[in-house]
Amino acid sequence: MKPLLRNLAEMTAHRDHLRLEVSVLSTLLKLGHIVQVRALELFTQDRDTMLRPRCWSENGQIISSEHDAAADPRRMPLAQEPGLAQCIATGGESAQRSEPHRHTLWLPVWLAGQASTCLEVTQSRAFTQHQRDVIMGVFLVYQNYQSLLDYSERDALTGLLNRKTFEEQYARQADSAADEGTGAPRQWLAVIDIDYFKSVNDRFGHLYGDEVLILVANLLRSQFRSQDRIFRFGGEEFVVLLRCVTLAQTRQVLERLRAAIQAHAFPQIGHITVSIGCAATQQGSPVEALGRADQALYYAKEHGRNQVCFYDDLRISGALQARVTHDEVELF
Ligand X SMILES: Nc1nc2c(ncn2[C@@H]2O[C@H](COP(=O)(O)OP(=O)(O)OP(=O)(O)O)[C@@H](O)[C@H]2O)c(=O)[nH]1
Q: Which residues of the chain form contacts with ligand X (CB under 6 A)? A: 157, 193-198, 201, 206, 209-210, 213, 235-236, 301, 305
Nearer to ligand X, 41 or 236 (CB): 236
Measured from the Cβ of residue 137, the count of other Cβ atoms closer than 10 Å reads 12
- Name the catalytic one among 21, 81, 211, 236: 236
Q: Measured from the CB of residue 212, what is the shortest distance to ligand X in angstroms?
A: 7
Measured from the Cβ of residue 100, the count of other Cβ atoms closer than 10 Å reads 6
Q: Measured from the CB of residue 210, what is the shortest distance to ligand X in angstroms?
A: 5
Q: Measured from the CB of residue 257, what is the shortest distance to ligand X in angstroms?
A: 17
Burial status of residue 67 (CB atoms within 10 A of its CB: 0-12, 13-18, 19 or more): middle
Whole-number Cα distances in Å, 150 to 30, 165, 216, 258: 26, 10, 21, 28
Q: Measured from the CB of residue 238, what is the shortest distance to ligand X in angstroms?
A: 12
Contact between 40 and 54 under an 8 Å Cβ cutoff? The reply is yes
Question: Do the bridges between strand 48-58 and strand 308-310 make them parallel or antiparallel, or are there none, so unpaired?
Answer: unpaired
Identify whether 236 is a catalytic site residue.
yes
Nearer to ligand X, 12 or 273 (CB): 273
Nearer to ligand X, 85 or 269 (CB): 269
What is the SS3 assignment for 140? helix
Nearer to ligand X, 194 or 254 (CB): 194
Contact between 201 and 293 under an 8 Å Cβ cutoff? The reply is no
Sign of the torsion angle spanned by Cα atoms 152, 154, 156, 159:
negative
Closest residue to ligand X, Cβ-based? 209
Write out the catalytic residue numbers. Answer: 236
